[in-house]
Amino acid sequence: MEHEIDLIVIGWGKGGKTLAGTMARAGHRVAIIEASPDMYGGTCINIGCVPTKALIHDADIRPGNGFDPGYFDEAVRRRDKLSAAMRAKNFFMLDGLDSVITITGRASFVSPRRIRVVAGEEILELDAKRIIINTGAVPAIPDLDGVQIGGRIHDSTTLQHAPLPGTLVVVGGGYVGTEFASMFAHFGSKVIVLDRGPRALKEEDEDIAAEVLGALNDVGVEVRVGASVQRIGQDADSAMVHYEQDGHVRAIEADAVLIALGRTPVTDGLNLEAAGIELTESGAIKVEERLSTSAEGVYALGDVNGGPQFTYVSLDDNRVVADAILGSGQRSTADRVAVPYTIFTTPPLARVGLSEDQARSRGLAIKIAVKKVPEIAAMPRPKIVGDPRGIIKFVVDADSDRILGAALMHVDSQEVINLVALAMRQGVTSATLRDSIFTHPSSTEALNEVLGSFNR
């Protein structure tokens, strides 16, 4: 079956679906291919950002603090209803365009310009002037004895639909592991985190990580560091995690185990060799700063290209490629400055730019403003909503007074960090931000006080 196509998009993630719509509205014939109807719209709305944050919200507002599987099941139903509505909307946004062909099937390269799609018993071959690889990433699974997703062993996708575990062991103390530990503890599970490093959240400054870990401790999460998992066993009744710590072999029995050791780009089955597309050492598709691959006319967007694994970065990938195809071709990933991120623990941790440790390791002359939220007089909002925990920390260039980085762990930090990031992009000094007028009562107004108290 042959079609004249200007652009083929493989995968329905944020960057690819947005670019598909942009190209179609500009008069181009577009085909978008998705392997599963359950993933129309991509990871974010189906198994990532939106559904997990819906669960976190329901966990945070849960009345009482006992173990309540019924409440969790209701939260999962609400999560599923929300994702289903967004999935249907995302499908119609493209399928409703006359110049878009939507195909459900598995795509692979035949040549740099030709894609084969297997859809059940049907096989289609499509040629296009340009091809976008937008296949995302999946949870990384270590090569350890007994570590296979299924039964009581889960990744971050399957755990969202598992029965609420009485005891949950989380393997990995990074961002995903920490966020899920917080969520399930708020649902009433007993959570134990095993991290093989000397401390969890190793990418954060020690004082910032301590505040997050303190919040986890408040809801009963136990974090065991220097814990190297050796194997995992399971039967019909429980799972058993065997690990080594301080030279001793130990074991924990649990109702469920979450493997939270990062995510890996999805390239299996694409037959990239047929197109001459190169990979990086980490298995991501190798791209240059305008996101073109080693095959002319083929681009890689989102998590599959090895960049920061955030949906908003994938959206910006779309802007880069749209400019390359429809615009001046000047936009690139090198233009990105001050890209923030948030870990949705309770309260959330948001960060942008350099940490103190990173700045000092580079030999930069810096000054530090840091205050714990309970000590900030001009920040009543966290007290109003009943969660006055957290810390605010700024890293500022000692000579220019420009903000180099910030870590905010408090109520509303996921919103305030965007203001800080914008200030950094525009070269706004800490003094200007300190003296700005903010609404009251808000979390943003804490900046007035914190940035007026450099202490080292």
**CA distance linking residue 80 with residue 7, whole number of Å:** 32
Query: What is the b/e burial string over 336-373, where b = at least 16 CB atoms within 10 angstroms of the residue's CB?
Result: eebbbbbbbbbbbbbbbbbbbeebeeeeeebbbbbbbb
3-state secondary structure of 397: strand
With beta carbons less than 8 A apart as the criterion, state whether 254 and 168 touch. yes
3-state secondary structure of 223: strand
**CA distance linking residue 382 with residue 437, whole number of Å:** 19
**DSSP letters along 319-348, please?**
HHHHHHHHS-S---GGG-----EEE-SSS-
3-state secondary structure of 81: helix
DSSP letter assigned to residue 77: H
CA atoms within 13 A on the CB side of 434: 15
Q: Which residues does the annotation mark as catalytic?
A: 440
Chain mean position to CA 265: 13
